[in-house]
A = this chain, B = another copy of it.
Amino acid sequence: MTIKDVAEHSGVSVSTVSRVLNNHPDVSEAVRSRVLETVRELHYVPNSSARDLVRPQSDAIGLVVRGVGNPFFSSVIRAVEQAVNQAGYTMVLHQIPSGEDEIRAAAELARSKRLLGLILLGGCFDYTPEQTAALEIPFVCCSFTNSFGSLKKDAYSSVSIDDQAEARRAVEVLIRQGHRKIAVLLDSVQDHSISELRYRGYCQALSENGIPLEPDLVAETGAFDMSAAYEGTRRLLARKKEFTALFVIADSMAIAAMKALHDSGRRIPEDCSIIAIDGIDMSSYTVPTLTTLIQPQEAMGEEAVRILVDMVEERAANRHIRMDTTLRIGGSVAAPN
């Protein structure tokens, strides 16, 4: 079975068959499908070494974003896209809802798009070597790391803040203002993810300052979005357990919490102080301005690409970068009344 047989059977020239097999754009859809039909019928297998010579290598770097609609990711995605382009590669973006399995999605993407490398944004913190073996390409965890998993340090890369330490720092800002009745709004206390780590920082700050943990002041939203944060704050208020300050694990959720506090007649910061972590653009425009720990979103995206490209181009091995946040004093924190 040769390319000549395929040409004869489909009634076109050998060079047309070649153009179809090499995906040249200048072939009509009708001719293309006739040739491909013949290829299938005759079980023709193109000479792969010849094909590899003319077929361009993939230049694709995947970005799998878990957590559709999280505004924190917007600036990271933008930074990753720019850095990938500047390095001469193509970014293939795939966004999935928080509940989905990003490793499975990434493995499928890696296979179907022949990715050279992968950046995971907003993934789980508990991968096992068995799971990530499916990836078969270098990958960088961006904005998180493998705190709950069993990956060896040299099996993956990461760029992240120290979530627990930063949460502790945020809660200490409230404690230094004199607050002792401090509530926390988070996705879940046990999600093996960002929420659990930031909850640990909350607990640590309380404990180090001799403040007992009060379960009624721990508000789990069950989801990482604004609508869940609004409802979670309403439920927290409905418990009628007094608190003078609220630590929210993310800016977007904090903005929804501010709305819920306002709708319940609480003034910020007079009746309730509020602090968060992230530093999304929108948090500069809340009334009052949200006090928050700003993550270096663009630098995180750029570093993730730098690490990945170094690996793709075989200049360096896996590595891990820890970044610091910057406290922005807004108007949402004051001493308790």
Contact = CB atoms under 8 A, between A and B. Distances in A.
Contacts of A136: 1
A69 interface: yes
A110 to B, nearest CB: 8
A131 interface: yes
A326 interface: no
A325 to B, nearest CB: 20
A287 B259 CA distance: 6
Contacts of A23: 56-58, 114
B94 A85 contact: yes
Given A68-B78, A74-B74, A130-B42, A90 B103 contact: no
A40 interface: yes
Interface string A288-325: 01000000000000000000000001100000000000
Contacts of A313: 29
Nearest to A131: B43
Contact of A81 (B46, B48, B94, B285): B94
Interface string A37-56: 00111111111100001111
A235 interface: no
Most chain B CB inside 10 Å of its own CB: which residue of A46, A74, A103? A74
Nearest to A44: B134
A29 B314 contact: yes
Contacts of A282: 71, 226, 255, 282
A136 B25 CA distance: 11
A39 B54 contact: yes
A81 B44 CA distance: 28
Nearest to A75: B69
Contacts of A93: 81, 91, 93
A54 B36 contact: yes
A153 interface: no
B45 A53 contact: yes
A91 B77 CA distance: 14
A256 B230 contact: no
B256 A285 contact: yes
Interface in A74-118: 74-75, 78, 81-82, 85, 90-95, 101, 103-104, 107-108, 111-114
A101 to B, nearest CB: 7
Interface of A: 1, 5, 21-23, 25, 29, 32, 36, 39-48, 53-58, 68-69, 71, 74-75, 78, 81-82, 85, 90-95, 101, 103-104, 107-108, 111-114, 130-131, 133-134, 136, 226, 230, 255-256, 258-259, 262, 281-282, 284-287, 289, 313-314
